[in-house]
Amino acid sequence: MSKSKQPIIAVFGSARVQPDDPVYMQSYEVGAALARAGYIVMTGGYAGLMAAASQGAAEAGGVVHGITVEKLEAIGESIPNQWLTEEFRYPNLRQRLDHLIDTADAYVTMPGGMGTAQEFIEVWQLMRLGDIAKHPLITYGDFWTPFIEQLLQSAYVSQRDVAYITNVQTTEDLTANLAEWFSKKD
């Protein structure tokens, strides 16, 4: 578990999703549910689903860690969202990803593009190879299901590989899954 007494849950998700998209509200609800359950929420610290989870957690009274990248800000691509309790800045994406992976006690993957896919797949592969300890790797909703099913049907991954991933459809299932995991770790 993290050095903090509270488990840290990384929430991966697209920076491009706008507040009027239903998945934005889902990410907000994920952040709020995690905070209410006593977890620290950690995101990439920027817009879209990262901001939604950060806002949800902050408005629920939780702690929000944002892991940001100087390079993205230097080229004018991103600015940190306003709901971060604590910001951890890195010069590049590689160091940011290392922090997200190495610091988290569990991972929740929302819909997203290349960056979210990289985060999700890297955690999955590192756990599969035993390079990092097994922690909950959770996909929220149905966005990633067709991708995982295609990998499985094409025999690019095995059923044993897929066993590292849990899919949940609701915040209740998410927090119950995490509570069960952490109760076994005590």
**CATH assignment of the domain containing 161:** 3.40.50.450
pTM of the predicted model, to two decimals? 0.95
Q: Is the pLDDT of residue 3 over 70?
A: no
Instruction: Please check whether residue 33 is in contact with residue 171, taking contact to mean a CB–CB distance below 8 angstroms.
Output: yes
Q: Which domain holds residue 78?
A: 8-177
The distance from CA 134 to its chain's CA centroid, rounded to whole angstroms, is 15
Other CB atoms within 10 A of residue 152 CB: 14
Q: Is the pLDDT of residue 174 over 90?
A: yes
**Within a domain: residue 142?**
yes
Torsion of CA 141, 146, 147, 151, to 10 degrees: 130
Q: Is the pLDDT of residue 77 over 80?
A: no
**Within a domain: residue 1?**
no
What's the mean pLDDT when you consider all of the chain?
95
Q: Is the pLDDT of residue 2 over 80?
A: no
**Within a domain: residue 32?**
yes
Other CB atoms within 10 A of residue 84 CB: 24
Instruction: Please check whether residue 56 is in contact with residue 31, taking contact to mean a CB–CB distance below 8 angstroms.
Output: yes
Residue 124 CA to residue 122 CA, distance in Å, equals: 5
Q: What average pLDDT score do residues 58-65 get?
A: 99
Of the chain, the percentage scoring pLDDT greater than 90 comes to: 90
Block residue for tokens 């067709």: 146
**Within a domain: residue 146?**
yes
Number of domains within the chain: 1
Closest CA to 139 of 120, 163, 122, 161: 120
Whole-number pLDDT of residue 71: 84
The 3-state DSSP class for residue 166 equals: strand
Whole-number pLDDT of residue 72: 80
Instruction: Please check whether residue 108 is in contact with residue 140, taking contact to mean a CB–CB distance below 8 angstroms.
Output: yes
Whole-number pLDDT of residue 186: 64
Could you tell me where the beta strands, DSSP code E, fall in 5-102?
A: 8-12, 40-43, 64-69, 86-90
Whole-number pLDDT of residue 85: 97
- 4-13, 42-51, 112-121, range with the lowest pLDDT: 4-13
